[in-house]
């Protein structure tokens, strides 16, 4: 059994490595305690130290097994703290964390804590059954992205369970996504420089707190997505970095090992042992916490040799493809889809050179979704423009219709867009305060109506004006502003999210032109965009966006079906912060050619507003 476990580790086929390496309760010579195992293939000697050895007074020397694994038994108890002493080649002795620890001390300490294996009796079987049966492809996916420690300052998941989950329900989100929850040594990294790939971050509470949080989300019909970072890790000397004094988890080549842009170290994705480590980490989070989706961070950094700012060497044919990274990502997705095809795999990737969501069998990476960074960048650039100039840059808004089904996309307004001087989404909008809110409502309606799954970073839902700071909580006080506009924006987002969930046309066909028909993408002079979203049964939503502060009375578009149309959403109603007391009345189509359409629909289009219509009663053609 042990030999086979080690063999599959060394061949990159062990995907539950944490069940062997790390600390595990057991018995020896009739005594209870823990077995400790760690991989340090080039170490001269390894010892375990901790509360049970009075730390440095009586280190327990470990025995070397096959494959560079070291093992010992200690009469240790739950709750005690430990580390490893690794004697590197040449005699230098360093303290090291346990890479397979499931919990660490509160920062800045880095000792691993012995905790018993969780044996939670989950109550979310109904959710998991529905997830397996229905999947997510033709289901609504509207994600609220959260940084756990700054949604409200200093809360653990035991507290978030009682506050964040009711908020998600109130706001009508389908999913919540968390920036990394794995152990990390510094808040300033936002969790993206990981230390413990199997450890829940101690500042967020206990692992069982997060299990309870996920379970309660599922009982409230909310999916949970977690960010995960397999490309790079913290270079802190007491963590994974040069674990046994030689490149262990990182590349042997110095430049490939060092991530100069982020001050981190890159995993050697071609090493079998590293593949076992990372894939085991991924499955651990899905299995132990019933996670519904994983967003893989910084995929581009794993795909291209020249992605970083430092020196690099091309392949022998001059290409820049990181072939080990490409193969690893295919393997990662292949394993995940074999075990859990109903769990979303999402790539944070910004280039157009790699088929991210194409099947592995066709040479793609096999992700379910890719963040559409091009759409995000173009859209935000457009909405930041003075409306006078939007007619000259209208392609920023319409170009995405040319490629929106090249990949399966998530449309993200993420944390990266509201930091480092980029300004909040609200602050990006043009005009007076009232016009900024109009623009923001228009922007969110455009995102909801555009093909693709949706994501919005916390604070955006109520129009927070200041950009996000990782060490400060959201400006909840905005909701009590005297003019009431932030509160109305908050209510608008909740109603827009509800509208999205209730209308299949906005999510049932998100991956082909069968669900989309562009009415007019050429009205640059008036800066009006119009298109149709469809269900598989031919139900229609007509979506019209006015990108200028000029109200368009008697505005006409073409439609394919005659009948009486009803306006079902108007972003400029006063209850949302707009200037309209009530929306358009029902309108009857006119049988008259408009471009290639045999029927016309005429109505008033609000300034900086979006107007969405559906057929109330069809006429025979």
Q: Would you kindly state where each structural domain of the chain is located, as residue ranges? A: 511-618
**What CATH number was assigned to the domain covering residues 511-618?**
2.60.40.1180
Band of residue 353 on the pLDDT scale cut at 50, 70, 90:
confident
The 597-605 sheet, strands edge to edge: 552-559, 597-605, 590-594
Q: Strands 563-570, 610-618: parallel, antiparallel or unpaired by DSSP?
A: antiparallel
Q: Which of 249, 115, 225, 159 is nearest to 454 (CA)?
A: 225
Question: Starting at the edge strand that comes first in sequence, how are the strands of the sheet with 563-570 ordered?
Answer: 516-520, 528-534, 540-546, 610-618, 563-570, 587-588
Q: What is the pLDDT of residue 193?
A: 95
| Contact present, 609 and 578 (Cβ < 8 Å) | yes
Query: What gap in Å lies between CA 41 and CA 157, rounded to an integer?
Result: 37
Mean pLDDT of 398-412: 97
Q: What is the pLDDT of residue 154?
A: 85
Q: What is the pLDDT of residue 122?
A: 97
pLDDT band, very low/low/confident/very high, at 1 (cuts 50, 70, 90): confident
Please report which confidence band the pLDDT of residue 467 belongs to, taking 50, 70 and 90 as the band edges.
very high
Catalytic hit among 98, 215, 297, 567: 297
* pLDDT value, residue 52: 96
Rounded alpha-carbon distances, angstroms, from residue 94 to 7, 62, 103, 248, 252: 28, 15, 21, 15, 20
Q: CB neighbours of 155 closer than 8 A, spacing ≥ 6?
A: 148, 149, 163
For the chain, give the longest Cα–Cα distance: 92
Rounded CA separation 190/17 (Å)? 27
SS (HEC) of 488-529: HHHHHHHHHHHHHHHCHHHCCCCCCHHHEEEEECCCCCCCEE
Residue 90: what pLDDT? 84
| Mean of the per-residue pLDDT values of the chain | 96
For residue 461, the model assigns a pLDDT of 98
Q: Is the pLDDT of residue 37 over 80?
A: yes
Contact present, 515 and 534 (Cβ < 8 Å): yes
The H or E element spanning position 338 is helix 323-339
DSSP H/E element including 273? helix 272-289
pTM for the whole structure: 0.97
Q: What is the mean pLDDT of residues 17-24?
A: 97
Q: What is the pLDDT of residue 352?
A: 87
Instruction: Tell me what pLDDT residue 116 has.
Output: 82
Tens digit of each residue's pLDDT (9 = 90 or more) over 81-129: 999 999 998 889 999 999 999 999 999 999 999 998 778 999 999 999 9
> 510 and 138 in contact (C-beta within 8 Å)?
yes
> pLDDT value at position 604?
98
Structure tokens at 564: 């009486």
pLDDT value of residue 310: 87
To the query of whether residue 348 is one of the catalytic residues in this protein, the response is yes
Q: Is 297 a catalytic residue?
A: yes
Mean pLDDT for the stretch of residues 125-135: 96
pLDDT score of 72 more than 80: yes
Task: Report how far residue 189's alpha carbon sits from residue 204's, in angstroms, rounded to the nearest whole number.
Answer: 15
Q: Which of 608, 460, 444, 440 is nearest to 526 (CA)?
A: 608
pLDDT tens-digit readout, 552-593 = 999 999 999 999 999 999 999 999 999 999 999 999 999 999
Q: Report the b/e string of 527-562 with b at 16+ CB within 10 A.
A: bbbbbbbbbeeeebbbbbbbbbbebbeebebbbbbb
d(CA 40, CA 93): 13
What is the distance between the alpha carbons of residues 175 and 152, in angstroms, rounded to a whole number? 19
Q: What are phi and psi of 187, to 5 degrees?
A: -60, -30
| Token pair of 358 as six digits | 């194409």
**Catalytic-role residue among 145, 268, 273, 348:** 348
pLDDT above 90: residue 458: yes
């Amino acid at each position: 059994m042990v030999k086979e476990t080690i063999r599959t580790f060394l061949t990159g086929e062990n995907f539950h490595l944490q069940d062997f390496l790390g600390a595990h309760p057991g018995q020896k010579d009739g005594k209870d305690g823990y077995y400790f195992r760690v991989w340090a293939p080039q170490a001269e000697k390894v010892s375990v130290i901790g509360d049970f050895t009075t730390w440095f007074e009586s280190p327990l020397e470990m025995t070397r097994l096959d494959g560079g694994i070291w093992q010992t038994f200690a009469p240790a108890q739950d709750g005690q703290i430990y580390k490893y002493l690794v004697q590197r080649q040449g005699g230098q002795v360093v303290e090291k964390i346990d890479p397979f620890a499931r919990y660490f001390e509160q920062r800045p300490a880095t000792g691993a804590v012995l905790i018993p294996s969780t044996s939670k009796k989950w109550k979310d079987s109904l959710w998991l059954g529905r997830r397996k049966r229905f999947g997510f492809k033709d289901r609504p996916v509207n994600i609220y992205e959260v940084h756990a420690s700054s949604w409200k300052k200093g809360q653990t998941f035991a507290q978030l369970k009682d506050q964040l989950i009711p908020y998600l329900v109130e706001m009508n989100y389908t999913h919540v996504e968390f920036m990394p929850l794995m152990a990390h040594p510094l808040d300033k990294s936002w969790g993206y420089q990981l230390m413990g790939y199997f450890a829940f971050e101690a500042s967020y509470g206990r692992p069982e707190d997060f299990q309870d949080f996920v379970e309660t989300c599922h009982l409230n019909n909310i999916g949970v997505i977690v960010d995960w970072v397999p490309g790079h890790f913290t270079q802190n000397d007491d963590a994974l970095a040069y674990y046994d004094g030689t490149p262990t988890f990182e590349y042997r080549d110095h430049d490939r090992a060092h991530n100069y842009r982020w001050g981190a170290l890159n995993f050697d994705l071609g090493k079998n042992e590293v593949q076992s480590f990372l894939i085991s980490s991924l499955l651990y989070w899905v299995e132990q916490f019933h996670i519904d989706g994983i967003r893989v961070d910084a995929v581009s950094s794993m795909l291209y040799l020249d992605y970083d700012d430092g020196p690099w060497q091309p392949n022998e044919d001059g290409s820049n493809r990181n072939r080990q990274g490409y193969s690893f990502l295919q393997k990662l997705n292949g394993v995940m889809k074999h075990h859990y095809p109903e769990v979303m795999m999402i790539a944070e990737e910004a280039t157009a050179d790699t088929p991210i969501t194409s099947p592995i069998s066709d040479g793609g990476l096999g992700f379910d979704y890719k963040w559409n960074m091009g759409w995000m960048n173009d859209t935000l650039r457009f909405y930041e423009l003075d409306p006078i100039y939007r007619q000259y840059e209208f392609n920023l808004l319409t170009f995405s219709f040319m490629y929106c089904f090249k990949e399966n996309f998530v449309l993200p307004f993420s944390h990266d867009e509201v930091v480092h001087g980029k300004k909040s989404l609200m602050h990006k909008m043009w005009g007076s305060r009232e016009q900024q809110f109009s623009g923001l409502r228009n922007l969110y309606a455009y995102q909801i109506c555009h093909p693709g799954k949706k994501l919005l970073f916390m604070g955006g839902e109520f129009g927070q004006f200041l950009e996000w700071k990782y060490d400060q909580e959201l400006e909840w006080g905005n909701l009590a502003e005297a003019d009431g506009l932030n509160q109305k924006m908050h209510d608008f987002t909740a109603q827009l999210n509800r509208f999205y969930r209730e209308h299949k046309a906005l999510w049932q066909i998100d991956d082909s032109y069968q669900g989309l028909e562009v009415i007019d993408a050429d009205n640059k002079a008036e800066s009006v965009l119009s298109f149709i979203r469809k269900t598989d049964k031919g139900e229609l939503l007509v979506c019209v966006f006015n990108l200028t502060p000029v109200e368009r009375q008697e505005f006409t578009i073409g439609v394919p079906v005659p009948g009486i149309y009803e306006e079902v959403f108007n972003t400029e109603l006063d209850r949302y912060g707009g200037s309209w007391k009530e929306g358009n009345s029902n309108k009857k189509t006119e049988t008259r050619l408009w471009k290639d359409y045999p029927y016309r629909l005429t109505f008033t289009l609000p300034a900086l507003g979006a107007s969405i219509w559906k057929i109330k009663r069809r006429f025979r053609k």
